[in-house]
Structure 1
Amino acid sequence: MKWSEICIHTTQEAVEPVSNILHEAGASGVVIEDPDDLYKERDTSLGEVYELSPDDYPDEGVIVKAYLPVNSFLGETVEEIKEAINQLLVYNIDLGHNQVTVSEVNEEEWATAWKKYYKPVKISDRITITPTWEEYEKVHDDELIIELDPGMAFGTGTHPTTVLSIQALERHLKKNDSVVDVGTGSGVLSIAAAKLGASKILALDLDEVAVTTAKLNIKLNKNQDVITVEQNNLLDGVRDEPDVIVANILAEVIVRMTDDAFKSLKPGGKLVTSGIIQGKREQVKDAILNSGFELLEIVEMEDWLAMVAQKPE
């Protein structure tokens, strides 16, 4: 089978929304080539091997790649992707070079080669994310293992915004809490919440691909008894009064949902938000405070932020 590689040269700020556009266009996953990855200090305690070459990365900006099957609709799909990316300018998202190129590749060249770079990664005190094809044994008894197949969609679960969200859940989630996961994507935050002891989780996403992917990953991790996945726009129509709402989404979307989050949460409930680039810090902080929340913490990783807020008792 022949595939087209679509390559977008953009910025770190635009990685998440561009990746989402590619998923909605039919890509089952993305490759992110960020030159910052060349200089990260990495934990190799689990035996990970990192063999990164500067030749594979841009001198500046970030390259996001995806693969689409070559068919008669490819040209239209590429134009739709370009148009959707340009629409991000409405949200004041810096697109950088915003250069889109398309080339043809054979399935054998990419279908499995990338797997050698994806190894188990410990992302918090208790949680380790591992690919489904890797054999992994617990290092300590209370370690929690999340299995993901990034070939399904939405990456490996180790992006800073995901890591910050899971670490926040580990600090703030109490046993038997109820949770609503807004913009669930791969379902990884819902799975983490279940493994941390949540008793009831509602995972929501507007994207049909995300809903399917989340259900598969949740079943893979045997958490389907406590997690329900539904297609839904943010918190529209949600009548639950959860203990925790977690949302790893764009800052521009977070500011639109803080009022609804405040109304939905139980008194004393907590809002965990991530996906916030440094430049949007004050905008999101102001929205959270204006909705009535008390801000508990702001944590940072690389250029990303997560905020945890509480509804007064």
Structure 2
Amino acid sequence: MNWSEIRIHTTNEAVEPISNIMHESGASGVVIEDPVDLIKERDSFFGEVYELNPDEYPKEGVYLKAYLPVNSSLDETVDEIRQAVNRLRLYDIDLGRNEITLNEIDEEDWSTAWKKYYKPVKVSEKITIIPTWEEYERAATDEVVIELDPGMAFGTGTHPTTMLSIQAIEQYITKNDFAIDVGSGSGVLSIACVLLGAKEVHAFDLDDVAVKSTQMNTRLNQIADNVIPKQNNLLDRVDMQADIIVSNILAEIIVTFIADAWKNLKPDGIFITSGIIQAKKQMVNDELEQAGFRIVAINELEDWVSIVAQKTQEKSGA
């Protein structure tokens, strides 16, 4: 089978929502080419980037590449992607150049070339994420290894928003916690919760492909009994009492379910939010405080922000 590589020249802010659009449209694998990766120091805490060719990177902005099978519906699929990406402007997301190009490649080139982007990456003090095809030996006895299959994943764990989320989970989760993952994608945050001590995680995502990806990756990490994936729109009609809620999605989406997160947390429960660009940090911060949360920590990595909030007491009149 031949594949069509669809490349969108966009901004870092738009990477995650466009990646979601790609997967919802049937993309098999997504690659992010950010020129910042060419100059980063990554040989210590965050692992290494291998075999990167500067000629493949834009001078400004980000290339987002996805792979679609060449068939009779390709043109229609590309048009649907273009329309969905343009609708992101309704959320005040900067799309940058928003240029789309197509390039046809054969099966063998596709199945091997994109693997150069995925190598073992240390994302926190304890957790290292590795692709399924890589051999890896733990560097320390307490190191926690997460295996992911990026071919179906909604994130490989190497994006700053995911790193921030996992670092916060590592700091605030405790043994036998009950957790909720809102917008689970590949399931990487759910997996991190369990491997760091959570007893049970309910993983919600609106996209059925994401639910299946979470199921696959939890089985891969031998924790399928501890993670319950379900197709659901955020926390709609969810009624639980969790110790911790994690969510790595757009800031504009986070603010729509803050009240539901409050209702589904135990007193003193922790709400970890990520996927927030610098320009939206204050908006999320203010909405959390207005709902009654106490801001515990604000952490930043590159242009991204995560906010850790705590439900310290019931709101007056609740």
Normalising by structure 2, we get a TM-score of: 0.96
| C-alpha distance in structure 2 between counterparts of 1:104 and 1:118, whole Å | 22
In structure 2, how many angstroms separate the alpha carbons of the residues matched to 1:248 and 1:286?
18
Does the Cα contact within 8 Å between 2:161 and 2:275 map onto a contact in 1? yes
Q: In the alignment, which residue of structure 1 is the partner of 2:53?
A: 53
Q: CA deviation at 1:113?
A: 2.0
Q: Distance in 2 between matches of 1:238 and 1:299?
A: 28
Map Cα deviations across residues 6-53 of structure 1 (whole Å, 9 max, x no partner).
111111111111111011000122111111111111025898463322
Aligned equivalents of 2:105 and 2:117: distance in 1?
20
Task: State the one-letter code of the partner of 1:258.
Answer: I
SS at match of 1:100: strand
Give the Cα separation in 2 of the matches to 1:89 and 1:131: 33
Distance in 2 (alpha carbons) for counterparts of 1:24 and 1:89: 18
Equivalent in the alignment of 2:82: 82
Give the structure 1 partner of residue 133 of structure 2.
Answer: 133
Matched residue, 2:109:
109
Identify if the C-alpha distance between structure 1 residues 46 and 274 changes in structure 2 by more than 3 Å, giving closer, same or farther. closer
> For 1:50 and 1:209, how far apart are their aligned partners in 2?
29
Corresponding residue pairs, total: 313
**Contact kept? 1:194, 1:223, Cα under 8 Å:** yes
The yes-or-no answer on 1:306 pairing with 2:306 is yes
| Counterpart contact for 1:46–1:120, Cα < 8 Å | no
Offset at residue 93 of structure 1 (A):
0.4
Secondary structure at the counterpart of residue 252 of structure 1: helix
Mark the CA change 1:47 to 1:199 in structure 2 (over 3 Å): closer, same or farther: closer
Q: Can you give the 5+ residue segments of structure 1 that lack an aligned partner in the other structure?
A: none
Please give the alpha-carbon distance, in whole angstroms, between the structure 2 residues aligned to 1:216 and 1:305. Answer: 29
Any residues of structure 2 matched to 1:1-313 within 5 Å, and which? 1-43=1-43, 48=48, 50-313=50-313
Please tell me whether the aligned partners of residues 2 and 104 of structure 2 are also in contact (alpha carbons under 8 angstroms): yes
For 1:271 and 1:242, the matched residues in 2 are separated by 10
Which secondary structure state, in structure 2, belongs to the residue aligned with residue 273 of structure 1?
Answer: strand
In 2, Cα distance between equivalents of 1:124 and 1:101: 36
Give a deviation string over 1:257-290, Cα, whole Å, max 9, x none: 1111011101110100000011111111111111
- What amino acid is aligned across from residue 59 of structure 2 in structure 1? D
Distance between the aligned counterparts of 1:49 and 1:55, measured in 2?
A: 16
Q: Distance in 2 between matches of 1:70 and 1:29?
A: 15
CA distance in 1, matches of 2:28, 2:51: 24
Q: Secondary structure at the match of 1:27?
A: coil
Give unmatched runs, 5+ long, in structure 2: 314-318
What is the alpha-carbon distance in structure 2 between the residues aligned to residue 63 and residue 46 of structure 1?
22
Code of the aligned partner of 1:243: D
Which residue type is aligned with residue 104 of structure 2? E
Amino acid in the other structure paired with 1:8: I
Q: Give secondary structure in 2 for the equivalent of 1:140.
A: coil
1:64 is paired with a residue of what secondary structure? Answer: strand
Q: Give identity over the alignment, percent.
A: 62
1:212-266 deviation per Cα after TM superposition (whole angstroms, max 9, x unaligned): 0010000000111111000000001111100000000000000101111011101
What's the secondary structure of 2:50's corresponding residue?
A: coil
Change (3 A) 1:247 1:49: closer
Matched residues in 1 for 2:54 and 2:307: separation? 33
Cα RMSD of the aligned pairs, angstroms, is 1.3
Change (3 A) 1:7 1:192: same
Note closer, same or farther for the CA distance 1:291–1:45 as it changes in structure 2 (3 Å cut).
closer
One-letter amino acid of the counterpart of residue 257, structure 1:
F
Structure-1 separation of matches of 2:156 and 2:14: 18
Q: Structure 1 residue runs of 4+, over 4 Å off?
A: 44-49
Using the TM superposition, name which of 114-123 and 205-214 deviates more: 114-123
Separation of aligned partners in 2, 1:197 and 1:153:
23
